[in-house]
Amino acid sequence: MPTSANIAQPRPKRPPRVREKPAAASEGELPVDTSEAPERIAKVMARAGLCSRRDAERWIAEGRVSIDGTILTSPAVTVTGESRIVVDGKPLPEPERARLWRYHKPTGLVTTHRDERGRATVFAALPAELPRLVSIGRLDLNSEGLLLMTNDGALARRLELPSTGWVRRYRVRVHGTVESDRLASLARGVAIDGASYGPIRAQLDRQLGSNAWLTLSLQEGKNREVRRVLEYLGYPVTRLIRLSYGPFQLGNLARGAIEEVPKKVLQDQLGTGGGPKAPRKG
């Protein structure tokens, strides 16, 4: 008969693992994504406000970045929140909360960080004390008006999508005598040289001799969309001003000025889930 010494004793059950809930965002801050899914190292560096993704890849190739003590030679690496990332001998800074700015872009500036043709850029014109910003959409060289900027690349990409339902509104001066029924045809969408453009609400505000002022509202943001559809109708654009982007308005913001959207306003407009609220009907 076996003794109690050589009878296998049942192992004590481990208490169930309890995952702690993430701390709630403080008032006015967007909720932080606390998932532990691996992300590309260049994306993490850009979100920390250190550089662009392209610069991050270049810095990695130059041997300036290490993860957990190992110097990287390729940007094809993913990291988690547990990874220790060091750039130029310094730990990667914690990412800032998502912030948003309204900028009144003047004409004569391109919406890019570096221009191959050496033209002046909107980012070079910004105050030096601002963090590294990216634009939400673009305005071309000869366009002006509201340009939203953020320190959060993921937020920028999210707010650029037509799925937000946010309307972009433009005040446009064109050359020619405008026919209202031709403008109304844009409400059905239009295809030009193989490119499809969604419905556009267009109205004639004033006809002044050989020029006219229009207001256009659309939910897409394709490259030079407003100019292309109006030129397709035979009305070349001579001035283009963006008045609003979703709930954010140009208002009386001075040309060349930039102003941060208050935290509470940002939270109210994006909703508690960190994404844009559905547009109000009507």
In a domain, 83, yes or no: yes
Q: Are residues 174 and 63 in the same domain?
A: no
Q: Look at residues 59, 91, 123 and tell me which one is the last residue of a structural domain.
A: 91
Indicate which residue of 33, 55, 115, 140 is catalytic. 140
Pairwise CA distance, residues 56 & 50, whole Å: 8
pLDDT score for 19 = 38
Q: Are residues 47 and 111 in the same domain?
A: no
Q: Are residues 50 and 87 in the same domain?
A: yes
pLDDT score for 22 = 39
pLDDT score for 276 = 59
In a domain, 182, yes or no: yes
Query: Domain range for residue 85?
Result: 39-91
Q: Look at residues 30, 65, 91 and tell me which one is the last residue of a structural domain.
A: 91
Q: Quick check: is 140 catalytic?
A: yes
pLDDT score for 81 = 81
Count CB atoms within 10 A of the CB of residue 174.
24
Pairwise CA distance, residues 259 & 102, whole Å: 5
**CATH number, domain with residue 135:** 3.30.2350.10
The CA distances from residue 59 to 35, 42, 51, 74, in Å, are 26, 10, 9, 10
pLDDT score for 277 = 54
Q: Are residues 115 and 252 in the same domain?
A: yes
In a domain, 151, yes or no: yes
Q: Kindly report whether the global pTM for this prediction surpasses the value 0.85.
A: no
- Those residues of the chain that have pLDDT short of 50 are 1-10, 12-35, 272-274, 280-282
Contact 96, 83 (CB under 8 A): no
pLDDT score for 53 = 83
What values do phi and psi take at 205, rounded to 5?
A: -90, -50
Q: Are residues 80 and 153 in the same domain?
A: no
**CATH number, domain with residue 45:** 3.10.290.10
Q: Are residues 63 and 121 in the same domain?
A: no
pLDDT score for 36 = 55
